[in-house]
Amino acid sequence: MTATDWVNWWCCTWRWAHPAWQAQVLAVQGLEPEACAAVTRSRQADLLASLGVRPSQPPEPDVDVLLWLSLSTEQRQQALALARSICCAPLPAETTVAARYDAWCRSLAKALRPGLWADPQQTDMRPLLGAWLGPAIWPRLRLGWAPGEVGEPATDLPPNKLDTLWRAVLWRVSTP
């Protein structure tokens, strides 16, 4: 991802948001889809506010966010599945990750001891991803999923554990 791609991702939130966000905002505003392009050009601040995003200049590119954004949809799903396998005890007859990653996930789980800091009932890892990336990035990143599909970022979690978890997971999915 180039610096231009980063700025486009930050500033042109509407372009890559999940279609359900777009439909929801248009319905709330009483607009037709054809008016979308005009609204994005002339009412950007209002549009961002309706999405729960605070308008701001793009910060310096964040290496971790760049890596997440460069992953394919399949790799992102795999990353979430790996994090789930590490942080949550798998349910019987549940396949979360490929067998070749089982030992790696168990080793990382032993080192991180997520049972001491993560909610074992929380099986959606996106709130942990949001907690790791922080409040500056998460409002934009969450728009990649449908409205209501992702909860609020987890709070009061040890930053060092989140950092180790997500860096390891991103390394695993981006390494052939």
In order, the DSSP letters of 55-92 are -----SPPHHHHHHHHS-HHHHHHHHHHHHHHHSPPPT
pLDDT tens-digit readout, 26-84:
777 777 777 766 767 777 777 788 888 888 999 999 899 999 999 999 999 999 999 99
Higher pLDDT, 12 or 165: 165
Q: Which long-range contacts link 35-41 to residues 24+ away (Cβ below 8 Å)?
A: 40/12, 40/14, 40/15
158 has pLDDT over 90 = yes
Please state, in angstroms and rounded to a whole number, the distance separating the CA atoms of residues 63 and 91: 33
The mean predicted confidence, pLDDT, of the chain is: 87
- Identity of the amino acid at 68: W
Nearest to 121 by CA among 153, 99, 89, 96: 89
Tokens 């590119």 correspond to 61
Lowest-pLDDT choice from 41-55, 60-74, 85-99, 151-165: 85-99
DSSP-derived secondary structure letter, 35 = G
Question: DSSP labels for 127-143?
Answer: HHHHHHH-TTTHHHHGG
**What per-residue string of b and e applies to 131-144 under the rule 16 or more CB within 10 Å gives b?**
bbbeeebbbbbbbb
16: Cα within 13 Å, side-chain hemisphere: 14
Looking at per-residue pLDDT, the higher value among 85 and 46 belongs to 85
Report DSSP state, residue 116: G
pLDDT at residue 93 is higher than 50: no
Each residue's pLDDT tens digit, 4-27: 889 989 988 888 889 898 888 777
Position with higher pLDDT, 99 vs 69: 69
Question: Is residue 51 within 8 Å of residue 13, measured between CB atoms?
Answer: yes
